[in-house]
C-alpha cells in the first residue's frame, strides 16, 4: 500500500492519553489525495507513486495535460512522490486515497514541510550565537559575528555561519506518533514545520510507537466541545 499522503497544517492543541498524560498534538487536514502517476522499476528504475492534492485556479499547460492523462479533472495544487510496497498492483491513476487506508493510531511518521520564512536575520537569531560583551570598550556591535577568518588560508571557509535569509527551507521532523485518524484528518504528537495552512507530506516509517497507549475517552469522542453540546443540549 501507499506509504504517505499530503495534508495541510490546521492548528495545535492538547489532548490526554489513556494514562492521563497531556500530549501536544498537531491537527493535519488531509484533503482528497489523487493518484496521478505510477512509477515502476522496469520503466522508471524505482517503485513509487505520484500523488496530488489541493486546488488551484490556473495550471501550466503541461501540468494540465499530465493530470488529464490520469483522468483527473481537478487543478491539483501540489504534487509529490511517495514510495509504495513492492508488487503493489491495486493502485490506479485517478484513484482517491483516504487517511484511514494509510494511517492508524500508534504509527510512527515523518513530516516534511517548508519552514516559516523570516527574512534577513543576523547570526544571533539565525544560528544562536552569543552576544559580545557590552563593556570593555565595545560600542554598538554586540550582535556582530566577530572574526570570520584568518590570514591563512586568506579566505572565508565554505559553510561559515553568517547573516542571511532565515527560514523558508525544506524541513523534516521524524518519529512523530499518529494519535488519531478520522475522516479528512490525522492528529500527530508534537509540532510540524511550516505555518497554518502550509502543505506537508506525511510518510509512514513502518514502525509502531511503544509508548502510545491510546487517547482518553473524552479526546476520542467529544473533544473540545462545550458541556451543553457534549450532553446533547
104 shares a domain with 134: no
Mean pLDDT for all residues in the chain: 89
Q: In this predicted structure, what is the pLDDT of residue 202? A: 97
Q: Is residue 150 part of a domain?
A: no
pLDDT-based confidence at residue 99 (cuts at 50, 70, 90): very high
Q: In this predicted structure, what is the pLDDT of residue 53? A: 96
112 shares a domain with 136: no
Q: In this predicted structure, what is the pLDDT of residue 168? A: 96
Q: In this predicted structure, what is the pLDDT of residue 30? A: 96
Is the model's pLDDT at 142 over the cut of 50? yes
Q: Is residue 200 part of a domain?
A: yes
123 shares a domain with 90: no
127 shares a domain with 41: no
| 34-70 pLDDT tens trace | 999 999 888 888 889 999 999 999 999 999 999 999 9
**Rg, Å, the chain Cα set:** 23
177 shares a domain with 103: yes
Q: In this predicted structure, what is the pLDDT of residue 232? A: 52
Q: Is residue 231 part of a domain?
A: yes
CATH number of 70's domain: 3.30.160.810
Find out whether 36 and 15 touch, Cβ atoms under 8 Å: no
Give CA–CA dist 2/188, Å, rounded.
19
126 shares a domain with 103: no
**CB-side neighbour CA atoms (13 Å) of 87:** 0
Of the chain, the percentage scoring pLDDT greater than 90 comes to 71
Mean pLDDT for the stretch of residues 144-171: 93
38 shares a domain with 58: yes
108 shares a domain with 3: yes
125 shares a domain with 49: no
Report the domain count for the chain: 3
Mean pLDDT for the stretch of residues 82-94: 81
Q: Is residue 153 part of a domain?
A: no
182 shares a domain with 110: yes
Q: Is residue 36 part of a domain?
A: yes
Q: In this predicted structure, what is the pLDDT of residue 227? A: 45
| 161-192 pLDDT tens trace | 999 999 999 999 999 999 999 999 999 999 99
Give the domain extent around 77. 32-97
Q: Is residue 229 part of a domain?
A: yes
Find out whether 27 and 10 touch, Cβ atoms under 8 Å: yes
Instruction: Compare 97 and 218 and report the one with higher pLDDT.
Output: 97
109 shares a domain with 223: yes
| 197-224 pLDDT tens trace | 999 999 999 899 998 988 988 777 554 4
The candidate with the shortest Cα–Cα distance to 51, out of 113, 115, 4, is: 4
231 shares a domain with 180: yes
Q: In this predicted structure, what is the pLDDT of residue 226? A: 44
CATH number of 223's domain: 2.40.30.10
Mean pLDDT for the stretch of residues 3-18: 95
Amino acid at each position: 500500500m501507499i506509504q504517505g499522503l499530503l495534508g495541510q497544517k490546521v492548528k495545535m492543541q492538547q489532548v490526554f492519553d489513556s494514562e492521563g498524560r497531556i500530549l501536544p498534538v498537531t491537527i493535519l487536514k488531509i484533503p482528497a489525495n489523487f493518484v496521478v502517476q505510477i512509477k515502476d522499476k522496469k520503466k522508471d528504475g524505482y517503485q513509487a507513486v505520484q500523488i496530488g492534492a489541493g486546488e488551484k485556479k490556473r495550471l501550466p499547460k503541461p501540468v494540465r495535460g499530465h493530470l488529464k492523462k490520469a483522468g483527473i479533472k481537478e487543478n491539483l495544487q501540489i504534487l509529490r512522490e511517495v514510495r509504495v510496497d513492492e508488487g503493489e498492483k491495486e493502485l490506479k491513476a485517478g484513484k482517491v486515497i483516504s487517511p484511514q487506508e494509510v494511517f492508524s493510531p500508534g504509527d510512527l511518521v515523518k513530516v516534511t514541510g517548508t519552514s516559516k520564512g523570516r527574512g534577513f536575520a543576523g547570526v544571533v537569531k539565525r544560528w544562536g550565537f552569543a552576544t559580545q560583551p557590552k563593556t570593555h570598550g565595545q560600542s554598538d556591535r554586540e550582535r556582530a559575528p566577530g572574526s570570520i577568518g584568518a590570514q591563512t588560508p586568506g579566505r572565508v571557509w565554505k559553510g561559515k555561519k553568517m547573516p542571511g535569509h532565515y527560514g523558508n527551507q525544506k524541513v523534516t521532523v521524524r518519529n512523530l506518533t499518529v494519535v488519531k485518524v478520522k475522516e479528512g484528518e490525522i492528529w500527530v504528537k508534537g509540532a510540524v514545520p511550516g505555518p497554518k495552512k502550509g502543505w506537508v507530506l506525511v510518510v509512514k516509517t513502518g514502525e509502531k510507537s511503544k509508548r502510545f497507549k491510546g487517547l482518553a475517552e473524552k479526546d476520542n469522542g467529544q473533544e473540545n466541545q462545550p458541556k451543553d453540546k457534549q450532553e446533547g443540549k
